Chains A and B, each alone.
Chain A
């Protein structure tokens, strides 16, 4: 988890650069500073930096493109997973940055984010969006294809209570998967509930945040961690 750093600086920095989308690295720093468990990511501008960060985090690592213009990172070849050594990091760095340029010649590419591969867990998704009538609403669901096809998700209006978080997790159809389906170890439902309450607090404390996706979050028998994070700021009034 990242150290508590200049978090308000992150939003101000983005604003001063005229950006409304935070990079994954920035989003995770902001979340981590609120005590929300994320897989820490750092921005590497060069392949050498990426290698240094990879050895700091430990292998295997994941590399993802960092560019405000590129939203769907994996669609353009901007994500590589399970990278096991220095040489592979260097090669992946080059592939990712050139793929980014190929996809959008005008895109400003800041570099790649480096993070340790998270141990696989049960994939869940959580996030926030603004509803025209109710303001910020929080969502929880099982991740991956299920969320898009089955729309098996639960919502609550922010702020939520511990009771609300408990009901959100329990009311999705896929809840038995979290309970440990077919001999799987049960996921840490309490950690997911706590994550939802923390997110609700985070949203209340950051009125600038207009949209937020933690997708995926990995739920483990003990604990849960956000593997990817996306934050969009509101249009500045």
Chain B
């Protein structure tokens, strides 16, 4: 097993990559995905009709894997399924560290031939200690090294999130949607049918990977639940682990007289496993990204009490509802805070119970010294563990469009607050009717590494689950 572990590490951090079987029909997708790769890329293709197109891209093609010079760390294999076992055998012979098999048509088809082919190539890989990823997968994304699952994925610096996905679509969507919100990837693995390597193998790798600060995953099932639980437990001792479970399938009506069995739905058991592991359960792509934003961009909270800042009376009410519904508390502030607020808070069309209905006091963005004072008061208030702020309503967004520097000034102030503060600080920016402007503004907030959420509800849910993590007992 240790050989396999070492081979997986080399596969995920390759110096030499070979793409086997790339085709014009796919737009030479896999070779294009490797265009920013920092190491050497070669192609293996025997079809004389395909070779010129590959060479035009400046990639050296060989007609046999054995001819590729030097050691090969990672092979991306996209050949028809009947040939796949032969290519896997060739990889073992060449001493390749690992292979991601893009080819589908195996066990996932539910038909006999596919299942037989999968176990055949699985056996070859296992016997040869070959780190086989998939089949039926999109392979590896290593942002720092420029190994990609999709040509849209950003490269350069490693992000802090290690991602494991049973689905290739979710692996790619997560990396792209996440990156747009500042949640960037270190290493992502699309694991497909997991014939040889399964979720726990990848969890163990990411737990030890220094670039990975948080582990997230999309899983539908696993072959060995206990091994998964143990790996999640180990990993979550040192890093937050977020589990997005897909496929809320019931095991079907069980013929049993046992109460316990009749209540043990797959959802109930998975929820239990995630809790038992000390991990965080999420329910969707957005949900997962939201929790990660809180974990990555907030300082840990020491309690559930939130200080809330909204622009208008109506928003003050609903931001309070959102946080209370998510299991957070919205307490009264200390008498000391109320004394300070009384000195300058504009109570004509505003109020300061908690939430702070602050639009009139901060002049809808104009009075930055007042905003600064409000943030300081909540920061120093002993009844407050976290601060959440509505960044703007529609009319402010229009002002930002007219004068972009007003948003920059606001963000300067918030970044300074975040640096001084010891409490989680979250912002929300609603889509509203000026979505285009809001999207541009949100991108600016993301650039400053401030967590910004699309709604109060999403911010509240994210803070609540991140707080579960921060307050958990190990």
**What is A's interface to B at a CB cutoff of 8 Å?**
71-72, 125-135, 137, 139, 141, 147-148, 151, 153-157, 160, 163-164, 167, 171, 211-213, 215, 230, 232
Contact = CB atoms under 8 A, between A and B. Distances in A.
B259 interface: yes
B264 interface: yes
Contact of A134 (B258, B259, B273, B473): B273
A9 B226 CA distance: 30
A157 B259 contact: no
B225 interface: yes
B153 to A, nearest CB: 31
B442 to A, nearest CB: 35
Interface of B: 221-222, 224-226, 229, 251, 256-261, 263-264, 268-269, 271-273, 275-276, 473
Given A134-B225, A135-B226, A211-B258, A156 B276 contact: yes
Interface of chain A, main secondary structure: strand
Contacts of A160: 276
Nearest to B278: A163
Contacts of B258: 127, 129, 211-213, 230, 232
A-B pairs with lowest CB-CB distance, top 10: A127-B260, A134-B225, A133-B225, A155-B272, A129-B261, A129-B260, A211-B258, A139-B260, A71-B257, A129-B264
A237 to B, nearest CB: 19
Contacts of A215: 259
A139 B276 contact: no
A163 B261 CA distance: 23
B259 A213 contact: yes
Contacts of A141: 263
Contacts of A71: 257
Given A134-B229, A139-B264, A167-B275, A155 B257 contact: no
Contacts of B257: 71-72
Contact of B260 (A128, A134, A171): A128
Contact of A155 (B221, B222, B264): B264
A97 B222 CA distance: 48
A156 B272 contact: yes
Given A128-B260, A134-B229, A135-B225, 8 more contacts: A71-B257, A129-B260, A133-B225, A139-B263, A139-B264, A147-B259, A160-B276, A212-B258
A169 to B, nearest CB: 13
Nearest to A21: B257
Given A131-B225, A133-B221, A134-B226, A212 B260 contact: yes
Nearest to A71: B257
B272 A125 contact: no
